[in-house]
């Protein structure tokens, strides 16, 4: 008699940032339950931010995530600047964009090359790829290293940079400091182009699912520091009203909250959403490569997020080079603004998608209340739905393939569990037939 129940238990989800688990249950050839659990310990940032001085907030919230600290610095700085009535000048804006793009490169390369590509090629880590294709690994690591250099030149260090502050930077960043980066930018452009081409040749699984993609909308440039919040289903709102449009949920198996569009359903944020909502703003050189491989303005499933990341990497290298040329030193390093009570919120595009911060300050500049919505929390429910969409394939697979595919789906979203839980590593698959 065929066994009535099969079960797989893997204790730690690997190649993700943070600790989580996945539980998949199959009954009568149907996936009956998928639970992406987060057991990363809660760290209560919103709670201990109360009573901190506004100027400390970017440094503190950066510690939510070591992989995307600049994202936290920028969302919090912009939210607070709205309260203080600060509008930064163009030079500061350019610098912010450069360091943020540097972070995209560093974070995307980490994911594309070290965490995600092994899934497409049947390896357990980058080591396997390095043996098979040392050239692409070498180029990829040089790109990652250059992204880190961009962050280091402006920020002092790449993990938890120290130069950024509310209103600008602690000191004027000199044009010649930035120019040290230009030297390698042409080579990096070629490497990024090669990386994109390599990614475009990967065998990418098919998956059909109707998804709402939410991102910022760029006006003249690919969105990163600001923009309206839009989706392919007609969402088009200002960042200030974002909380009115999303509902918060808590599930028992997760220390991360999750989100859905009010009155609708779950949604997806991240490189895929940005790409689909802003394809025309990618540099023409990038689009040309993409189109020469038969892809276009709309990517259709989460596996293709690797294309969006590689495309954004190439775009970022080209844009950084241009921005450095455009940069001129500001007259003063930062704007002071006037301390006053009020509420401010802001959204920027973290490597993993839109990152929302809201702060309420008292008249002396101390935080009274805050709310932070990181990208990964917004994607958690969609990861589960992607797995359910694979029902017909998954139920036919043997356990090890099933597990491999389910893990691959999780990694498509580059989940950053430290972010999600600022407050995953167990895969647990149970099958009852």
Partner 1 sequence: MSKLKVAVFKFSSCDGCQLQFLNLEEELIHLIDLIDFALFYEARTYVEPGPYDLSFVEGSISTPHEVELIKKVRDESKVIVTVGACATSGGIQALRNWANVKEFQNYVYPRPEWIEVLKNAEPPSKYVNVDYEVRGCPASKEQLLSFILQFMRGKIPILPISPLCIECKLSGNLCVLVVNGTPCLGPVTMAGCGALCPSYGRGCYGCYGPSVDSRTLVLNRRFKEMELKPKEIQLLFKQFAGWSRKFREVIEEYE
Residues at the site binding partner 1, with contacts judged by CB under 8 A:
12-19, 39-48, 50, 52-53, 56, 59-60, 63-67, 69, 106, 110, 114-115, 118, 124-127, 130, 137-138, 141-142, 144-145, 148, 156-160, 162-163, 165, 169-171, 248, 250, 252, 255, 257, 333, 407, 416, 418, 423, 425
> How does DSSP assign 164-207, residue by residue?
EETTEESSPPPHHHHHHHHTTHHHHHHHHHHHHHHHHTS-----
User: Between 235 and 416, whose beta carbon lies closer to partner 1?
Assistant: 416
CB of residue 23 to partner 1, shortest distance in Å: 16
Task: Answer for the pair 196, 136: CB distance below 8 angstroms, yes or no.
Answer: no
CB of residue 12 to partner 1, shortest distance in Å: 5
Q: Which of 231, 196, 238 is nearest to 214 (CA)?
A: 231
Cα 359 to Cα 345: distance, rounded to the nearest angstrom: 6
User: Between 158 and 231, whose beta carbon lies closer to partner 1?
Assistant: 158
Give residue for tokens 């950084």.
320
User: Between 114 and 394, whose beta carbon lies closer to partner 1?
Assistant: 114
CB of residue 36 to partner 1, shortest distance in Å: 16
CB of residue 367 to partner 1, shortest distance in Å: 11
Residue 100, φ and ψ in degrees, nearest 5: -65, -45
Task: Answer for the pair 43, 419: CB distance below 8 angstroms, yes or no.
Answer: no
Residue 276, φ and ψ in degrees, nearest 5: -65, -35
Cα 409 to Cα 24: distance, rounded to the nearest angstrom: 13
CA distances from 242 to 13, 62, 358, 413 (A): 31, 22, 10, 22
Residue 29, φ and ψ in degrees, nearest 5: 55, 30
CB of residue 39 to partner 1, shortest distance in Å: 7
CB of residue 84 to partner 1, shortest distance in Å: 18
Token pair of 96 as six digits: 């912010």
């Amino acid at each position: 008699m065929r066994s009535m129940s099969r079960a797989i238990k893997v204790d730690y989800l690997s190649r993700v940032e943070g600790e989580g688990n996945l539980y998949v249950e199959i009954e009568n050839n149907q996936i009956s339950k998928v639970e992406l659990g987060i057991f990363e310990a809660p760290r209560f940032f919103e709670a201990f931010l109360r009573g901190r001085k506004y100027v400390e907030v970017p440094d503190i919230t950066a510690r939510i995530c070591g992989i995307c600290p600049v994202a936290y610095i920028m969302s919090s700085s912009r939210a607070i600047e709205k309260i203080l009535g600060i509008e930064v000048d163009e030079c500061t804006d350019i610098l912010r964009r450069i360091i943020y793009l540097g972070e995209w490169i560093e974070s995307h390369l980490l994911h594309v090359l070290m965490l995600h590509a092994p899934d497409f090629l049947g390896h357990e880590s980058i080591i396997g790829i390095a043996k098979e294709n040392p050239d692409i690994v070498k180029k990829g690591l040089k790109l990652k290293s250059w992204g880190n250099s961009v962050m280091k030149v402006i920020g002092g260090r790449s993990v938890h940079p120290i130069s950024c502050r509310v209103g600008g930077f602690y000191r004027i960043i000199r044009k010649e400091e930035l120019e040290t980066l230009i030297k390698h930018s042409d080579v990096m452009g070629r490497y990024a182009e090669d990386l994109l081409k390599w990614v475009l040749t990967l065998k990418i699984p098919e998956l059909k699912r109707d998804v709402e993609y939410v991102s910022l909308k760029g006006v003249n440039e690919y969105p990163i520091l600001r923009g309206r919040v839009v989706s392919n289903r007609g969402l088009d709102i200002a960042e200030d009203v974002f909380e009115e449009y999303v509902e918060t949920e808590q599930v028992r198996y997760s220390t991360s909250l999750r989100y859905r569009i009010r009155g609708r359903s779950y949604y997806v944020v991240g490189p895929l959403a940005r790409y689909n909502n802003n394809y025309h703003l990618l540099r023409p050189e990038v689009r040309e490569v993409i189109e020469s491989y038969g892809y276009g303005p709309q990517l259709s499933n989460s596996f293709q997020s690797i294309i969006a990341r590689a495309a954004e990497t190439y775009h970022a290298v080209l844009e950084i080079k241009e921005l450095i040329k455009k940069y001129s030193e500001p007259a003063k390093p930062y704007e002071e603004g006037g301390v006053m009570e009020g509420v401010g919120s802001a959204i920027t595009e973290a490597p993993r998608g839109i990152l929302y911060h809201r702060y309420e300050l008292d008249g002396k500049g101390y935080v009274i209340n805050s709310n932070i919505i990181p990208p990964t929390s917004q994607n958690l429910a969609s990861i589960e739905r992607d797995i359910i969409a694979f029902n017909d394939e998954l139920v036919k697979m043997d356990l090890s393939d099933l597990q491999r595919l389910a893990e691959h789906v999780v990694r498509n979203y580059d989940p950053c569990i430290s972010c999600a839980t600022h407050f995953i590593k167990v895969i647990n698959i149970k099958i009852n037939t």
